[in-house]
Amino acid sequence: MGVAPRNAFPNAFTVDLEEWFQGLTSTNRQVERWEAFESRVVPATHLLLGILRQYGVRATFFTLGHVADRQPALIDAIYAEGHELGIHGYYHRFVYRLTPAEFDGEVGRSIEAVMRVNGEIPQGHRAPYFSVNATTPWAFEVLARHGLRYDSSVFPTRNMLYGFPGAPRLPYRVAENTLWELPASTVRWAGKTWPMSGGFYVRALPYAITRWALRRLQQAGEPAILYIHPWELDLGQRYNQVTPRERITHYHGRHGLAAKLHRLFTDFRFGPMRDLVANLEGEQPPAPANKPVGMPTVDTGMAHG
Ligand SMILES: [Zn+2]
């Protein structure tokens, strides 16, 4: 049930590229209102790009097709800085609320939107809200049919919004071995599987806990797969109709997030998902990712952290 990569490898840093109103569960389904909301994805993403640039981190941006079609210059800028472009659906729909045919349409349309910008076929997909679970056994086949190489849509434990308890924690092959599934990272502790890898967890947990969890994974030879949304860094949002749950899931801890990212990129190495997949397949080691400040420059072959 899942394999660790052959070589100690940097963690993967991923971004789910979407507008704040596409991520909020209350406004997510009101597509007819989206054009009326203030678009903030461009400045928020540039904040994040600046931090990544500072540490030489190359990441994977799972891009919503709706954003790619409206902000092609932003997608261009991300690509020009050497980041990987993956897909995140077109309208940010929960996969388990779609039929296989509707999901097929979401995937196809988002691939086209990203390809219109950079001309390259994306390799990876992340479902909105990690909404691939036991009720969507057809999802992997749809992704494989579109020629994708990997998926990162399984959240192998349960939280307030979503989850796929009992799914493998480590990368595993699906769709008759034609596709890799790389679940969001969790950590095993006290006999349980704990979530730790997303923007919410990095925002909500003291940095020392995040660092402990990453070190624990690295000691086990398991690269962490972290994710974040640009809106988590946006302190200027003025929408005041958020639900009590969204106040926690979307807004709690935003003020401390940038400082935590600086510490994270100082303490650990990160690369894009495509390098992690290449490593799983035994391909040549990718070009070095960021060299954390204070880390030895000679690579000992051991996991960092
Ligand atoms: Zn999303």
Reported confidence tier of residue 284, pLDDT bands at 50, 70, 90: low
**Span from the CA of 23 to the centroid of ligand 1 (angstroms):** 5
d(CA 20, CA 51): 20
Which homologous superfamily is 11-280 in? Glycoside hydrolase/deacetylase (3.20.20.370)
**Span from the CA of 181 to the centroid of ligand 1 (angstroms):** 17
**Span from the CA of 270 to the centroid of ligand 1 (angstroms):** 21
Which whole number is the average pLDDT over 37-60? 97
Reported confidence tier of residue 230, pLDDT bands at 50, 70, 90: very high
pLDDT of residue 236: 87
**Span from the CA of 92 to the centroid of ligand 1 (angstroms):** 6
**Span from the CA of 178 to the centroid of ligand 1 (angstroms):** 25
**Span from the CA of 128 to the centroid of ligand 1 (angstroms):** 4
Which whole number is the average pLDDT over 37-59? 97
pLDDT in tens, 169-209: 899 999 999 999 999 999 889 888 888 888 888 899 999 99
- Residue pair 268/11 in contact by the 8 Å Cβ criterion: yes
Reported confidence tier of residue 298, pLDDT bands at 50, 70, 90: very low
pTM more than 0.95: no
pLDDT in tens, 119-166: 999 999 999 999 999 899 999 999 999 999 999 999 887 776 677 878
* Helices 41-55, 72-80: crossing angle, 10 deg rounding: 0
d(CA 153, CA 226): 12
d(CA 38, CA 26): 16
**Span from the CA of 251 to the centroid of ligand 1 (angstroms):** 15
**Span from the CA of 22 to the centroid of ligand 1 (angstroms):** 7
> Who contacts 92 (Cβ-Cβ below 8 Å, separation ≥6)?
18, 22, 23, 28, 64, 66, 128
* Helices 100-118, 72-80: crossing angle, 10 deg rounding: 70
If one compares 182 and 253, the residue with the highest pLDDT of the two is 182
pLDDT of residue 160: 64
For residue 300, pLDDT beyond 50:
no
> Who contacts 108 (Cβ-Cβ below 8 Å, separation ≥6)?
146
pLDDT of residue 247: 84
User: CA 85, 275, 161, 132 torsion: positive or negative?
Assistant: positive
d(CA 7, CA 222): 10
